[in-house]
Chain A
């Protein structure tokens, strides 16, 4: 899995909570993103030192009906974070 425990945001990215959800601000590119609830769960877990497998496990526990698709969804999400340079390499 591409994100190792101890992952961090890129230096130019700031994360904050707003009334509209979790927002990531890219101060270098001058753009911002919004995370949905499950995305927030995953990124918080990764930033707290959890692994991708930990994130998969957490989502499976919360949504057992979606257990089969969670692994692929989290992997795709992590790729998106990488492609957007949100996470530090």
Chain B
């Protein structure tokens, strides 16, 4: 089983 296609993405998740 292959995961459904998602466009490659870079998601900003926060700061430290």
- Chain A: interface size category: 20 to 34
Provided the pairs A37-B3, A62-B2, A63-B2 are in contact, do residues A32 and B15 lie with their beta carbons within 8 angstroms?
yes
Determine which residue in A25, A37, A42, A59 has the highest number of CB atoms from chain B within 10 A of its CB, and name it. A37
| Cβ-defined contact, B14 with A38, below 8 A | no
A62-B2, A63-B2 known; A77-B15 Cβ under 8 A:
no
The residue that B16 contacts in the complex, of A32, A33, A41, A77, with Cβ under 8 A, is A32
Q: How far is the CB of A81 from chain B (nearest CB, A)?
A: 6
Known: A77-B8, A77-B9, A80-B10. A30 touches B3 (CB 8 A): no
B7 touches A73 (CB 8 A): yes
